[in-house]
Structure 1
Amino acid sequence: MHKLIPNLQKLRELGAIETYPENPDLEYVVSLAEDLEITIDQLIYEEVVADDLPERISHIKMLVMDCDGVLTDGGMYFTKNGDEIKRFNAKDGLGIKTLMKAGFQTGIISAGISTGLVEKRAEMLGVPHVYVGQDPKIEVLEGWLKKLGLSIEEIAYIGDDLTDLPVLEKAGLAACPSDAALAVREQCDIVLETPGGAGCIRELVDLYILS
């Protein structure tokens, strides 16, 4: 998958470049690759990550997830009777279970009004920490950390929208699905290839946290 624009965003965030053209041409790409001492293929097709990412991943002890747009595709679905339904991905479920079997803590923080669906999904997976409500996500997480004796640097967080930014800015590892909001993608250490609700949690677990 083409990763040029996300890589340019990440390079700007890391301070490697000050800015980049809206529509980079071949001359720009070739010149930048030479300046960075990487190949053109690496710049276009491989994800740019911070040099200290492997070390930070090694300290992760808990994965905390947003729900809508991460565990689901973010769509709103209703039955004929007006009851809300959500579509979850089985691959994500197995990834979460695998992570917990490896000794990691897990949690879900969802902004919204509880209909019981998020809590039910968490119960099915065995996720012990769940919050659905209007409190700021960072405050909810900080409460969990105090109870668990963990630091924010030991948290991997995956979110997709603006309400997730306060957590993403502080987490030891910040990740998002491929279709996350632009401001979120620019903040994250890892922009996954998979969109929300399509296995992005499984990708994060398999290719990064447990790799």
Structure 2
Amino acid sequence: MPPLTITIGVLALQGGVVEHIALLNRASASYPSVTFHFLEVRTPEQLSLCDALIIPGGESTTMAIVARRLGLLEPLREFVKINNKPVWGTCAGLVMLAEEASATKQGGQELIGGLDVRVLRNKFGTQVQSFVADLNLDFLGEGEGPFRGVFIRAPVVEEVIDGNGRVKVLGTVKKPGEEEDIVAVRQGNVFGTSFHPELTGDVRVHAWWLGNVVEALGQGGEGKGLVMGKGKGDAGKVY
């Protein structure tokens, strides 16, 4: 089997793009047999080069407007829901990947979809009400200790609207005096977190997600991989 080369994009319209790429570079050391390229994505042409994508935090309404202006919204929907490529959304990225959103600005907002959930935007209040909480994320494995989740004007999953059990709850948080909230979910190729792993020095979530990408792309000769990028030349910033 030839060496596996994977191009992972980070949607570069807003948010912690550089921070995500820094942790991806560190996490990629866990897969020495794979060659990774990390690409900032601002155009449909750049998106077409990607085998997987991260949608970072920011302001989801603004992200949707900018994506529409750049001609990215429909290609993103195709990437996620037709091509079924691995996608991870953090904070605003989780909102963008939901099928429904509550507490949107007047007139609502456009979403990419892919997760059969309804999210509640800004569940925990304003920027000054940001917080850090220890999260027990079982998918990271036992014996590793809690993950320090950074929550900044974070959304939560307020309802799973899929009745077929396809949405898997992977993480929750409970603030004192409040009910438990869902802050990490996965449905097939789509993963979403309310918190910001890229703002920590902990690479575990990035390394876990890269492992899922490698598996989806057929590492080990499984033959289950998704379509690889077509190598259309230099179309963006590669790290």
The answer to whether the superposition gives a TM-score over 0.5 is no
Q: Which structure is higher in strand share?
A: 2
Q: Which structure is higher in helix share?
A: 1
Structure of larger gyration radius: 1
Q: TM-score range by the shorter chain?
A: 0.3 to 0.5
